[in-house]
Structure 1
Amino acid sequence: MRVNEQIRISPVRVINAEGAMLGVMPTSKALEHAREAGMDLVEVAANERPPVCKIIDYGKFKYTQKKKLSKQKQHQIQVKEIRVRPKTGEHDIEVKVKRAREFLEQKDKVLVNVLFRGRELAHIDEGRRVMEEVLKSLEDVGKLEKNPSMEGRRMTAILAPKA
């Protein structure tokens, strides 16, 4: 982006600060108009013939461009967690699955935990059934990144969003 004296091509099409077309004029005359307005002459469309220049406050223009870029910042991937137990009811599992689906649609990873307490450790097969049920219902929106495995008193699996 060229500003003021950096603009070498003459003539240029000039637009004033309000957005009104001033017409095609030599670069020197366009610079005079910009100085009279106390602003800068900025080349906004260099590939056009003649190039399009706008009379604007260059510092303010750069600031607003920077603000726009910061708003378009990419989504930071987070790991969200859902916890269930081997005795968790069907409806409660559906609610957790619905929430996990929202996380995956927002491009976040989901850590599925099946927690075991006390004598529940004797029924790991029940916990595995719950885990399989959750993973099966989410396979359309997420892919399995880490297979279910036991880590102490919990069984964990990680789902990543499908690309």
Structure 2
Amino acid sequence: MKFRGILNDEIRHREVRLIDQNGTQVGIISKENAIERAKEAGLDLVMVAPNVRPPVCKIIDFGKYRYELQKKEKSSKKNQKIVKIKEIKMRPFVAEADYTSKINMAKRFLSDGYKVKFNIFLSGRERSINDIGKDMIGRISVDMRDAGDVEKTSGASGAMLYVIVVPKKS
């Protein structure tokens, strides 16, 4: 983000609430007086809160201020954690070996820190029998109990049911 900021003569308000270079609030003074004080200190008058009346301006070094903002933004981006979800597709009548391998794969994903979403697809007559999908979700929940916790399951039955499993908190 390239921050330009409003400083010195670009400020369009007659009066501003001034905070000096030491961080103490001077009060509401004219823009010209505030710019004069900033020039005497060899610094810039920067508008930090333009949406209030009168706007808040600080006497600071603009280059340093911009650097601090960029540093703060970078650290906030670094602290954001992106949660990745791995999806596993299944049918209600899956062979036992396939079911076991998909459960083991999901456990491996959970140990790597991913969330796992099991999608259970129902087709044709499978949709009319509600218990098939719910039984499958229950079976997955029981088998995944040691590796993770169920975060969310799908509501009413339809063509697709799902269950989201998150890693256990250690």
Normalising by structure 1, what TM-score?
0.53
How far apart are residue 28 of structure 1 and its match? Answer: 1.0
Give the aligned partner of residue 37 of structure 2: 33
Picking from 71, 75, 91, the partner of 1:71 is 75
Report if aligned partners of 2:150, 2:165 keep a CA contact under 8 Å in 1.
Answer: no
How far apart are residue 72 of structure 1 and its match? Answer: 1.2
Give the aligned partner of residue 17 of structure 2: 13
How far apart are residue 12 of structure 1 and its match? Answer: 0.9
Q: Structure 1 pair 5/67, CA: closer, same or farther in 2 (3 Å)?
A: same
How far apart are residue 135 of structure 1 and its match? Answer: 2.0
Q: Separation in 2 of the partners of 1:49 and 1:142? A: 46
How many pairs were matched up? 111
Report if aligned partners of 1:101, 1:141 keep a CA contact under 8 Å in 2.
Answer: no
Give the aligned partner of residue 47 of structure 1: 51
Identity across matched positions, percent: 37
Q: Structure 1 pair 46/7, CA: closer, same or farther in 2 (3 Å)?
A: same
Q: Which runs of 5+ in 1 are unaligned?
A: 81-96, 111-130, 144-158
SS class of match (1:140): strand
Residue identity opposite 1:75 in structure 2: K
Give the aligned partner of residue 94 of structure 1: none
Q: Separation in 2 of the partners of 1:24 and 1:50? A: 8
Q: Separation in 2 of the partners of 1:133 and 1:23? A: 65
Give the aligned partner of residue 156 of structure 1: none
Q: Separation in 2 of the partners of 1:17 and 1:8? A: 21
Pairing 1:97-136 to 2, within 5 Å after superposition: 100=110, 103=113, 108-109=114-115, 135-136=144-145
How far apart are residue 66 of structure 1 and its match? Answer: 0.9
Q: Separation in 2 of the partners of 1:160 and 1:39? A: 55
SS class of match (1:28): helix
Map Cα deviations across residues 85-116 of structure 1 (whole Å, 9 max, x no partner): xxxxxxxxxxxx7xx4793xxxx346xxxxxx
How far apart are residue 44 of structure 1 and its match? Answer: 1.4
Report if aligned partners of 1:142, 1:161 keep a CA contact under 8 Å in 2.
Answer: no
Pairing 1:85-104 to 2, within 5 Å after superposition: 100=110, 103=113
Normalising by structure 2, what TM-score?
0.51
How far apart are residue 16 of structure 1 and its match? Answer: 0.4
Q: Which runs of 5+ in 2 are unaligned?
A: 87-106, 117-139, 154-163
